[in-house]
Structure 1
């Protein structure tokens, strides 16, 4: 088996290639990787040709339906402009021989200091996590103000605390004691989509499940909420660090 990646625009998807005792070649997209299986009795030229053909199919499929599986390893480069909602940030990435990585945000520039002692995959994860942390720290006061205003105007429920979290499996959550968590991935979404997720979680302060009563509360607060749901469904690949 050979582990590598398949590039689709700016995203890298895990790719696992198997050379087996089999008659036909196959390609499939699983929850965590793209899987390609090729007969081991073929000559090298034929194997490479089939591999490229199947990778091409996978790239086309993932480009058309990027939500097949997440997360991906997104590539960043120094000097890149990062658009997060209605704000723009400049990335400055420096690689240094040190034990840990760090980041700071100053006047619209995210300065990252990444350890060269890490593997390529771990460097990518460090960069994603640090960017997410910088943006969430800067934007948290704005999020709190947004949710408190929506709550005051529409729900008037008790809120214990509000957090940004780099949630990968959901857009938000609401705990029994009134804590509201919003995924930092929504910093890449339009304001009305962020409002929908905030309203969704606020409605859970009243209805703790997805009953008809719950959706009635959401619709009353945001009549076009299904439009925002559709945006999330179609654009989730754009909301990743």
Structure 2
């Protein structure tokens, strides 16, 4: 059975070709898509199949996301928000509007007097997280890319629903900003994971050997995300 990978709607789709099957089947698990097809089926027909099943694939991924517990934040003073694994309390001040900042161990947001807008506070915190995720991931990708002797094209941040990152065959790496809520070692793992896709653009045993080479405790990090990832929400 031979394997190949293509990109489809921000997903990396694994294609397995086999002489043992006569028709194509699609399997969706969390945010991964596997297509098993007859060995000689043309790539264009596989892409057409994926397009025809686009809505079904999205619904399957959405079901996994909906199964995860939602945030119960009220965005009021005293609530805790995590950054790099450490909790910081929110302080909502009154005055001229000032966006979220991390000051003296607190997330501070200033709203106009009489304003009590949870959505505004949430959006302000989201902007802060996205900005600092961009800074943090760019720093870490540059550092680890040098250590791993790989070359990337770009680093960007996205609000993924059910994945922590992606890496295109061209070397464009995208990370879920929510990862920076996790401990620093988990952030490192996600970076190493995506950079290893520049060596093996799949999740084959060879890929995981590369991950382990640069991060021997990767299984612990992987387990941490499995059990705590749903908590990384605003």
TM over 0.5: yes
Deviation of the 1:229 alpha carbon: 0.7
Q: 2:144 aligns with which of 133, 137, 150?
A: 150
Highest RCO, 1 vs 2 (Cα 8 Å, sep ≥ 6):
2
Indicate whether 1:72 and 2:71 are aligned.
Answer: yes
1: CA distance, partners of 2:212 / 2:107: 39
- Is 2:167–2:173's contact at 8 Å kept on the other side of the alignment? yes
5+ residue gaps, structure 2:
1-61
Unaligned runs of 5+ in 1: 1-29, 34-66
Is 1:200–2:193 an aligned residue pair?
Answer: yes
1:40-59 alignment, distance < 5 Å: none
- Match of residue 82 from structure 1: 81
Corresponding residue number in structure 2 for 1:55: none
How much is the aligned-residue C-alpha RMSD, in angstroms?
A: 3.4
Greater C-alpha Rg: 1
Contact 1:159 1:179 in 2 (8 A): yes
2:108 equivalent to 1:110: yes
C-alpha distance 112-183 of structure 1, shift in aligned 2 (>3 A): farther
State the alpha-carbon separation in 2 of the partners of residues 160 and 32 from structure 1: 31
2:165–2:194 Cα contact (<8 Å) kept: yes
| Post-superposition CA distance 1:37-59 (Å, at most 9, x none) | xxxxxxxxxxxxxxxxxxxxxxx
In structure 2, the residue matched to 1:213 is 206
> Counterparts of 1:197 and 1:75 in 2: how far apart (Å)?
29
Check the 8 A contact 2:137/2:191 in 1, yes or no.
no
Alpha-carbon distance in 1 for matches of 2:84, 2:102 = 18
Q: TM (normalized to structure 2)?
A: 0.59
Shift of the alpha carbon at 1:125?
Answer: 5.2
Taking a change above 3 Å as real, the CA distance of residues 159 and 202 of structure 1, as seen in their structure-2 partners, is same
The separation in 1 between residues aligned to 2:87 and 2:226, in whole angstroms, is: 24
Q: Is the 8 A contact 1:103 1:130 kept in 2?
A: yes
Contact map agreement 1:188 1:238 (CA 8 A) in 2: no
Q: Does 1:189 align with 2:182?
A: yes
Q: Which range moves more in the overlay, 181-190 or 128-137?
A: 128-137
**Does structure 1 retain, via aligned residues, the 8 Å contact 2:76–2:92?**
yes
TM value normalised by structure 1: 0.57
